Chains A and B, each alone.
Chain A
Amino acid sequence: ETGVTQSPTHLIKTRGQQVTLRCSSQSGHNTVSWYQQALGQGPQFIFQYYREEENGRGNFPPRFSGLQFPNYSSELNVNALELDDSALYLCASSLGRSTNEKLFFGSGTQLSVL
């Protein structure tokens, strides 16, 4: 158990819809990173939030957006879903944004876009 919880665990959507994924970080952690992991691939960095501000972004289009709340929980929103968005979405929390900080991953949300 990492103390990072994600919801929902599984989700099925159709092309064009919008989705919101949620992440509760481990107690005391102020940094949350989101990753997309397609089947048979390594995780791909989407973005990171540090104290409610975006602190870096990977190569994902603007329809991928996020939020971090004062309690450091976070949301990932994806608009205009495409078939290729089907993947495991992972959230990781850490004590800070330094590269020395250990990442604690949740179990992920498995998103299927039909």
Chain B
Amino acid sequence: TQLLEQSPQFLSIQEGENLTVYCNSSSVFSSLQWYRQEPGEGPVLLVTVVTGGEVKKLKRLTFQFGDARKDSSLHITAAQPGDTGLYLCAGFIAGNNRKLIWGLGTSLAVNP
């Protein structure tokens, strides 16, 4: 059973388009993180969200944590080829802060 469901699994879009990636769970998370991973590299942390309803912006990327802290979204505006990569969400379930739970990732390809 996958505790964190990410959708879509694959996404191929043209440069300049907008997109949203979702991370959903039936469990409550004390915090949730978004990472970007390129082939042959480890994941790199983009953002951590902690408070229900929280919205964080990182240039063209907007991250939102659901009010109930069970879901999160990543929205990219005007995608660029440099945004290509695997986007992973990960979080600590409330009351269990030793094991980081990961989603399977969304593989994004932005075509020029």
Q: How many residues of B contact A (CB 8 A)?
A: 23
A44 with B31: CB separation less than 8 A = no
Main secondary structure of the interface of A (DSSP, over half): loop
Stretch at the interface among A63-71, A78-86, A99-107: A99-107
- The answer to whether A107 and B42 have CB atoms under 8 Å apart is yes
Of A44, A102, A103, most B-chain CB atoms within 10 Å: A103
Known contacts A99-B92, A99-B97, A42 near B42 by CB under 8 Å:
no
Nearest residue in A to B91 (C-beta to C-beta)? A99
Q: Is B40 in contact with chain A by the CB < 8 A criterion?
A: yes
A99 partner residues in chain B, CB cutoff 8 A = 30-31, 92, 97
Q: Interface residues, chain B, CB within 8 Å of chain A?
A: 4, 6, 30-31, 40-45, 48, 88, 90, 92, 97-105
Residues of A within 8 A of B (CB): 2, 4, 33, 40-45, 48, 55-56, 58, 90, 92, 97-100, 102-103, 105-108
